[in-house]
Amino acid sequence: MKLNVKLFLMLLIAGITGAASCTKDKLKHEVLSPEQLVSGRIAGTWTNPGNIVTPGNVPPEVFGAMRLVFTTDAEGKPSKFLAEGCPIVFGTAGAGSWTVTGAQDSAMVNIVGVEPLDEFSVKVTGSTLTLSFYMGWENTDTKETGKGDFKVTLTRQ
């Protein structure tokens, strides 16, 4: 009988201690904003340009060896942007910050600190990022100029 009382008291103390510890650390149920959800999908490194669409007189090599890096801050909001291997599209600086609006199947990304392209639409899947934009162009050999729609699909690295 004494053993049952001791066992009961130990279980009672363990139960109270366990219940008290659960009430101290409540889970935070934060609802993420649409910006945070899309930023999380875009964040990462994207490379290997494919499925390239350019205006008639523009070669697909305009995208070069494009490599884009999107980072987010601790809250999941857009932070830094880095573009490498594509100076015709993003210039030689290639680093800046970014913002995003929309949803993963139709979002608009704005880049600050990078030229000439500073705005483009994106569609994101689990493994691909498709950029679409309208931009002016110039063939430095022939001096021919024009404007047109560009599109490229990158894969997550």
Residue 72 and residue 80 in contact, taking contact as beta carbons nearer than 8 Å: no
Task: Give the pTM.
Answer: 0.77
In a domain, 5, yes or no: no
Which CATH number do you get for residue 151?
A: 2.40.128
Rounded CA gap, 27 and 13, in Å? 24
Supply the pLDDT for residue 65: 92
Rounded CA gap, 63 and 54, in Å? 10
Residue 113 and residue 96 in contact, taking contact as beta carbons nearer than 8 Å: yes
In a domain, 97, yes or no: yes
Q: Which phi-psi region, left, alpha or beta, contains residue 51 (left: φ > 0; alpha: ψ -120 to 50)?
A: left
Residue-level pLDDT, tens digit, the chain, 157 residues: 566 777 777 777 777 776 666 655 566 667 778 888 899 999 999 999 999 999 988 889 889 999 999 999 998 999 999 999 988 888 877 789 999 999 878 899 999 988 888 899 999 998 999 999 999 988 778 888 899 999 999 999 9
Residue located via tokens 């340009």: 49
Token readout for 32 is: 């993420």
In a domain, 111, yes or no: yes
Count of structural domains within the chain: 1
In a domain, 18, yes or no: no
Supply the pLDDT for residue 19: 66
In a domain, 24, yes or no: no
In a domain, 4, yes or no: no
SS3 106: strand
Query: Domain range for residue 50?
Result: 34-156
Supply the pLDDT for residue 27: 62
Token readout for 10 is: 């130990």
Among candidate residues 139, 122, 147, the one with its CA nearest the CA of residue 39: 122
